[in-house]
Amino acid sequence: MSENVEKTQCLIIGSGPAGYTAAIYAARADLKPMMYQGLQPGGQLTTTTEIDNFPGYPDGAQGPEMMEDFKKQAERFETDVRWGMITEIDLSKRPFTAKADDGKTIIADTVIIATGATARWLGMPSESEYNGYGVSACATCDGFFYKEKDVAVVGGGDTAAEEATYLAKLCNKVYLVHRRDELRASKAMQNRVMNTPNLELVWDHVPKEIIGETEGFAKKVTGVIVTNVKTGEEKTLDIDGFFVAIGHKPNTEMFKEQLEMNDVGYLITKPDSTATNVEGVFAAGDVQDHVFRQAVTAAGTGCMAAIEAERFLGSQE
């Protein structure tokens, strides 16, 4: 076999809570997993500052530090963790063949996909500047930090409506900024929005710039400038937090035409399972979960995927 061709019982594509948990379980099952971390090693949590809702961290944790803990635990059981990414894969027959950006060809008996999803952003420079310091794409993750404060949510679909009503239970005031004069959300979600007293709809407006303060390494959001799409007039909303709720894009481009996915691109797994429509291929974390999108649920499906990969290999002997 060429030195550029390697074999593994279990190839894990992507890291984050799903990928690292899958690695821990697969390694403990002696599958000797190989992981390519992907474009964003550690996944979305590496862009998050405080994480207070993951069990086992009573004082909270910084996202990058938590992912480093996950990585160390996976490596403790001799997971082969590699910097880089899988660029293409053939799932048409077993064993599967993947190519990595380091020039290696990987022959894998099973594959666990943990490539995650990427939040859709508006593209403002200030959005990147304050990401993790008052700008978030997950109300369930970060809403707690804005108790009794004022925040803004941008979007008009079910996700935006759900995030806004969730935040309204915690925050003093929630502005829901939408570019149109009606929501795209379902009627049930619209009713919830309209019947939430501390939620103010800012119709026909789009965010122009997030305002904030920086003192040394400390940053915080203090407001957002919004523009009326009909008149061009601008106004400033005084806020402490800015939540972007215009959806997520699952990182599944490489698997199109090979795996079943929904109309948005999330991989479809079998009920009560992480198994895809291709035997021996499993999907865990946000790449197949458009409902919860939490670190702890991603870790849970990573565990499931590794156990199912082990059982699949056992059934082939």
Q: Does the pTM of the predicted model rise above 0.85?
A: no
Return the pLDDT at 73: 97
Return the pLDDT at 1: 61
Return the pLDDT at 291: 87
CATH architecture assignment, domain 121-244: 3-Layer(bba) Sandwich (3.50)
Return the pLDDT at 149: 98
CB 154 within 8 A of CB 160: yes
Catalytic residue among 30, 80, 90, 142: 142
Q: Which CATH superfamily is domain 5-118+249-316 in?
A: FAD/NAD(P)-binding domain (3.50.50.60)
Task: Give the integer Cα–Cα distance in Å for 308 and 284.
Answer: 11
Q: Is 109 a catalytic residue?
A: no
Q: Looking at the chain, which residues constitute the CATH 3.50.50.60 domain(s)?
A: 5-118+249-316, 121-244
Catalytic residue among 30, 80, 102, 138: 138
Return the pLDDT at 293: 85
Catalytic residue among 10, 141, 171, 303: 141
Q: Is 171 a catalytic residue?
A: no
Return the pLDDT at 260: 98
Return the pLDDT at 165: 95
Q: Is 141 a catalytic residue?
A: yes
With helix as H, strand as E and coil as C, how does the chain read?
CCCCEEEEEEEEECCHHHHHHHHHHHHHCCCCCEEECCCCCCHHHHHCCEECCCCCCCCCEEHHHHHHHHHHHHHHCCCEEECCCEEEEECCCCCEEEEECCCCEEEEEEEEECCCEEECCCCCHHHHHCECCCEECCHHHHHHHHCCCEEEEECCCHHHHHHHHHHHCCCCEEEEECCCCCCCCCHHHHHHHHCCCCEEEECCEEEEEEEEEEECCEEEEEEEEEEECCCCCEEEEECCEEEECCCEEECCHHHCCCCCECCCCCECCCCCCCECCCCCEEECHHHCCCCCCCHHHHHHHHHHHHHHHHHHHHHHC
Report the chain (317 residues): mean pLDDT per 10 consecutive residues. 88 96 98 93 76 90 91 96 96 97 96 94 94 91 94 94 94 98 92 96 98 87 98 97 93 97 96 98 96 92 98 93
